[in-house]
Chains A and B, each alone.
Chain A
Amino acid sequence: MKVLYFAWVRERIGKAEEALDPPAAVATVADLIAWLSQRGEEYAYAFEKPKVIRAAIDRMHVNQDTAIAGAREIAFFPPMTGG
């Protein structure tokens, strides 16, 4: 799956997107955040307050308990500040 990062999540991780293939045990958005947090200091920093992080699957907002099976594109970002 393609994983995208925006705003300070992107800055902390140091990349805008990457292709990832998490293990099958990673079932939900929250699981994916926990799995990503183990990948290195930059990920741990980006996801240090996991409840703050917002997510979208295939360009639709989702809650962190949403299953990621079948997702093509998952995005992580801070609360939005547009308008």
Chain B
Amino acid sequence: MTVPITIRLQEADFDLAHEVAALSRGRTDIGAVVTFSGICRGDEDGEAIAALTLEHYPGMAEAEIARHAEEAVSRWPLTGITVIHRYGRIVPGENIVLVVTASSHREAAFQGAEFLMDYLKTKAPFWKREEGASGSGWVDAHDRDDTAAARWAKP
């Protein structure tokens, strides 16, 4: 069976419970669903944040996420994937990103979700601009995200 993969880039918010239900409704082959939500924090290194604005590369962002979803399916026995990434202006407390992975057993679902998030952080063409108390600026990439993604590299 083809594994259902849903990828959406949108300005609008999403509903986690709705997305999990949409992935698992009517199916009895799913024994585990893992969800990860990335949420806009209200501070960064002690400085208050008023909002984040996410810019993306339309066309490439979808394609890049799809490539990694296909890779996740080839590496773990996943039975469904949903990835939603928002763009535009997002205020603290709001959702930024959702990854849902389904499988017969939890291990694949956990690992698939972690793999997808690590790659979204470092390879998906999105850029965050922060509005803080002392002005606004582009968020720097973190070495720790590259380190997290590197552990999934194939030898």
A: residues with CB less than 8 A from B are 4, 6-8, 56, 59-61, 75, 77-83
CB of B121 within 8 A of CB of A77, answer no
Identify which of A56, A61, A81 contacts B128 (C-beta below 8 A). A81
* Number of A-B pairs, beta carbon distance below 8 Å: 73
Residues of B within 8 A of A77 (CB): 57, 125, 127
Residues of B within 8 A of A7 (CB): 55, 127, 129, 138
Residues of A within 8 A of B129 (CB): 7
Looking at chain B's contact residues, the main secondary structure is mixed
Q: List 25 A-B contacts (CB under 8 A).
A: A6-B125, A6-B127, A8-B127, A56-B57, A56-B60, A59-B59, A59-B60, A75-B57, A77-B125, A78-B127, A79-B122, A79-B141, A80-B121, A80-B122, A80-B124, A80-B127, A81-B121, A81-B127, A82-B54, A82-B61, A82-B97, A82-B124, A83-B38, A83-B121, A83-B124
CA distance A5 to B63 in the complex (A): 18
CB of B60 within 8 A of CB of A81, answer no
B: residues with CB less than 8 A from A are 38, 54-57, 59-61, 63-64, 85, 96-97, 117, 120-129, 138-141, 145
